[in-house]
Amino acid sequence: MEQPYSQRPEWSDVTPLPQDDGPNPLVPIAYSSDYIDAMDYFRAVSKNNEKSERVLGLISDIIDMNPAHYTVWRYRQQVLFELKSDLQKELDFVDEIASSQAKNYQVWHHRLVIVDTLNNCDRELPFINGILDEDSKNYHAWSYRQWVVKRFNLWDQDLKYTDDMILIDVRNNSAWNYRYFVLFNNPEAPSQETIKNEIEFTKHKIQLAPNNSSGWSYLTALLDKANQPLYTIEPFLEDLVAKHIISPHLYSTLIDMFIQRAKLEETQVNPVALEYCDRLATDLDPTRKKYWQYKKSTITSA
């Protein structure tokens, strides 16, 4: 900040309003002098409901010092709309802030409000792509992308985007989660052919990283959505076993398959499931030993 607001002649008509922490604050926050000065003036202008270009400048300074200040962002929106400001320029401002504050919720929410008001998303996917290029698992970026795609009906083009993201990193659980969102939140439900292709796509990715849970979770979710029992992928699972793939997710899925089949056919669970529980408890997944012992007990008592 160039100069304290208390020393600026153009702000001499404003009486700053200090923060009131009561007579004996227990743990007062050690704000910087510049931040205290700016906030004193912000409290004064917001109390007087002033909406002007100078207030926008004041808010910009505060955001530069504390970009997580929700109240300041909210008042900024009110000022922008009151002044009928150029919202494309506001997106330029957000672009700049987001370059160093990509995990700041307030920044993303503010952008959503501006884009929703503009009713135009031409800049949004390139903007989000840039953020995800830097951090492919940025929760806020993926959440905002969901909103953009749903708000502006961009379903068709975004499944391909997850192809690329998963190709770059097959373990990117955020990309897998987003792929599920695109596939099943689209107003046009996926066809049986699409589901079939997705299952084959996922099988291939699982073989690349059998110890990663993302592909397995996606595969079982696909089957559930398609009302297909787990035994429809039994040849795939047995092939992995034959290839000596050591994966707790593989054996966990096999156990679930045996249990599901027994329920559907009203028979006893295949005793191989008990062997797999033991193997998971002692070798493949010892961290969850007690869980697999419990799982085995539920099978034997069924």
Give the residue numbers annotated as catalytic, written as ranges.
103
List all residues 6 or more positions away from 55 whose beta carbon is below 8 Å from its beta carbon: 45, 75, 79
Residue 176's nearest CA partner among 186, 189, 167, 166 is 166
